[in-house]
Amino acid sequence: MKALILVDLQNDFLPTGALPVPRGDEVIVVANRVMPRFPLIVATQDWHPANHGSFAANHPGRKPGELAELGGLPQVMWPVHCVAHTNGAEFAPGLDTRHLAEVVPKGTDPAMDSYSGFFDNGHRKATGLGDYLRAHSVTDVYMLGLATDYCVKATALDARQLGFATHLVLDGCRGVELAPGDIDRAVAEMRAAGVRVLGSDEVPAAN
């Protein structure tokens, strides 16, 4: 059984959003195109409280892009984004959400960030996504979304660690690229962990 994981296809990560991923809007059409090829589709949503510790605005003197600490881990300071129940946290307009079997919120704890759809960054709490996929006899996960060098990478690495055969739909991803080369390094790291990288045209039809 295969499943598709759509990572953080939310307004604030589009080029017009609060934490814009360059050309992030281009992946929506890819998501819509491959969805019919999957019997099970889940989506993650970055879903922060307003007092979230990843927001530079919640740390006096900090600016977005700086490196600080949160929950004992290095933490990039981000602009305020994806605050729960705000427009910025909603799915991107144009995304066909009709076939989503499950939506997995993450980053809900103000004291810990969660790039991965499976665990927080400290691997202290699970979101339930891993159990959900196993309960549906999923063996293979395909994923695409935003951003390649943060939440997509973390989700893919955790999927591998949990034992899923993991496939990255590369043209369905865009990255932040805070430092030049971040996207290429993220893809290399995923490959090294056993993630198979493919194009959307190579995603097999539903079986």
Structure token digits, residue 61: 């003197």
Name the β-bridge partners of 126.
119
Active site residue 25: no
Distance (Å, rounded) from C-alpha 157 to C-alpha 194? 9
- CA gap 158, 156 in Å, rounded: 5
Beta carbon nearer to Zn ion, 107 or 117 = 107
What residues make contact with Zn ion under the rule CB under 5 A? Answer: 46, 107
Q: What is the distance between the alpha carbons of residues 18 and 120, in angstroms, rounded to a whole number?
A: 22
Catalytic residue among 106, 113, 149, 158: 106
Query: With DSSP H G I counted as helix, E B as strand and the rest as coil, what are the percentages for the chain, rounded to 5?
Result: 30, 25, 45
Rounded to a whole number of angstroms, the minimum distance from the CB of residue 73 to Zn ion is: 14
Minimum distance of Zn ion from residue 91's CB (angstroms): 15
> With respect to Zn ion, which residue has the nearer C-beta, 66 or 202?
66
Q: How far is the CB of 151 from Zn ion (least distance, A)?
A: 8
**Closest residue to bound Zn ion by CB:** 46
8 among known catalytic residues: yes
User: Exposed (0-12), middle (13-18) or buried (19+): which is 198, by Cβ within 10 Å?
Assistant: middle
CA dihedral 144, 83, 119, 34 (to 10 degrees): -20
Residue 200 to residue 30: CA distance in whole angstroms? 7
Shortest gap between Cβ of 37 and Zn ion (angstroms)? Answer: 29
109 Cβ contact partners less than 8 Å away, ≥ 6 residues apart: 120, 125
Q: How far is the CB of 177 from Zn ion (least distance, A)?
A: 17
> Which is nearer to Zn ion, 64 or 128 (by Cβ)?
64
Burial class (CB in 10 A: 0-12, 13-18, 19+), 44: buried
Q: Which of 149, 151, 158, 173 is catalytic?
A: 151
Q: Which is nearer to Zn ion, 40 or 113 (CB)?
A: 113
Active site residue 106: yes
Residue 83 or 156 having the CB closest to Zn ion: 83
Q: Which of the following is catalytic: 2, 8, 113, 158?
A: 8
Give the active site residues: 8, 106, 151
